[in-house]
Amino acid sequence: MMRAAVTSRLMGLLLLAAGYPSAGFAQDTLQPYQLVRSLQLVQDRIAAGDHAAMPMQAKLLEMTDTRLREADAEDFKDPKNFRALLVYGMSGGNPVTVEAAVSRATTDPGSLAIAKGVIDYLNGRPGEAIEALRPIDPMTLPADLGAFLALVKGSLLAGDQPAAALTLLDEAKLLSPGTLVEEAALRRSVGIAVTQGDAARFALASTQYVERYLYSPYASQFADSFVSGVITLHMSISQDKLADITAMMDPEREKVIYLRIARRAAIDGLSDLSAFASARAEHGRDGNTNQGDPRAELYSSLSTVTSGTIEDVRTKLGKIDRSKLSDGDRALLDAAQAIAGEVVAPPASLPAVSPASADTAPQPKPEVAAAQAADEAGLPPVEGAVAEQPAVAPPGGTAAAAPNAPAPSTDSATVLPASAPATSAGPDTTDPTDAAMMKTRRQLDLIDQMLGAAPK
């Protein structure tokens, strides 16, 4: 109730200032801290899902920028105005305005040290920003400034010190609950928890975000991190926990999330997860099913394309309406149909080799030799595709390992396909069926590359 009353008074004052005929009325009437506080209230409404407030945010940023550009040293003698300047900068303000205003301000050394770190952060100098802000404890500052500073420090440390970053993001949430700061802190905590492999933290932060900020305009960033986290942590997060989190979403968002999980899981070869997510997407909620959605049908088929029910899968793939798929999904459909066709294709017979030709042992044609070399060297690593055999590192370098992929074996320099015959000095006795299996395996590996390279 108190927050709503304050918001109403500030919004009324803002509208009066914005509509007054004199261009300088807003600057003369409102102190910088009043404008910045109004900006924060509007941003908090946006984080809660009030997208209609976004034009008001743009207007407030413009008015605040003008006011701070004209502020003098006398204005910044009030600590509230100087803190407001720093909060404005960390709220998406103009770094040029912040730097110019700081140069005119006369304040204590501690506040100037924070200002230096904020300016470094705004100007894309993370190393300098970390050094400037390292000794400053956000919990010792006023809550309005401390919350933003904890958020900024947490973001800066996310790559090199993720555990410390998570602690700082927790402090930001504690200092500023129910605000844009908490929304951003939760959203970033989800991504850091994934890199840390912390399934419990990932599930908790995801639950809190869905409960409070599902309709934020920044929720699409959360959705990206959430889908990636489910794929990366699939061995640590149960399907029941996943269902509990998505049950808090509205039916349409839940369907989209499950479709995205199903697609990523199918590409990464996680057949159980892909089947589960596809089934949840098709099942729908409250009696409204999504059966017949071509995306769900495609993703569920990808997880079973090499199974014993291949004829059923081929029939299902053939009934999918391509016109309702994106370009990336059409490529997946083509790849799945190609795999299914290779699985059921009869083995091709090889021409008989006469003793005379065997004795002469002619060299293979260039294209055949190239294919054999490709088989022996192994396929190059492709994002999203996990080979059945370990990849071989190129000379002088190290192959990039896919997440959760087993470490390459060092027992041998070359990994041959499982069906490759042993090299023999005697006549070629390759069985036609084995040769066809080798050919099919090569084609399936190439199609796996296509699946891995498709947009996720």
- Residue 288 φ then ψ, to 5°: -100, 95
Give bridge partners of residue 285 from the DSSP assignment: 288
> Distance between CA atoms of 163 and 284, rounded to whole angstroms?
38
Q: With contact defined as beta carbons under 8 Å apart, do 205 and 190 qualify?
A: yes
Q: How many residues does the chain have?
A: 456
Q: With contact defined as beta carbons under 8 Å apart, do 187 and 209 qualify?
A: yes
Residue of 388, 390, 387, 381 lying closest to 410 (CA atoms) = 390
Question: Residue for token digits 């006369």?
Answer: 106
Residues 38-81: pLDDT tens digits? 999 999 999 999 999 999 999 999 999 999 999 999 999 999 99
**What's residue 422's pLDDT?**
40
74-113 exposure pattern, b = at least 16 Cβ within 10 A, e = fewer: ebbeeebbbbbbbbbbbbebbeebbbebbeebebeeebee
DSSP H or E stretch at residue 77? none
Q: With contact defined as beta carbons under 8 Å apart, do 190 and 206 qualify?
A: yes
DSSP assigned state of 287 = T
| Collapsed DSSP state (helix, strand, coil) of residue 285 | strand
**What's residue 199's pLDDT?**
96
**What's residue 36's pLDDT?**
94
Q: With contact defined as beta carbons under 8 Å apart, do 138 and 150 qualify?
A: yes
**What's residue 417's pLDDT?**
37
> Distance between CA atoms of 246 and 302, rounded to whole angstroms?
23
> Distance between CA atoms of 289 and 251, rounded to whole angstroms?
10
Q: With contact defined as beta carbons under 8 Å apart, do 133 and 156 qualify?
A: yes
111-127 mean pLDDT = 94
Lowest model confidence (mean pLDDT) among 32-36, 63-67, 322-326:
322-326
- All structural domains of the chain with their residue ranges: 250-345
Lowest model confidence (mean pLDDT) among 98-112, 295-309, 313-327, 358-372:
358-372
Q: Which amino acid is at 385?
A: A
| Collapsed DSSP state (helix, strand, coil) of residue 84 | helix
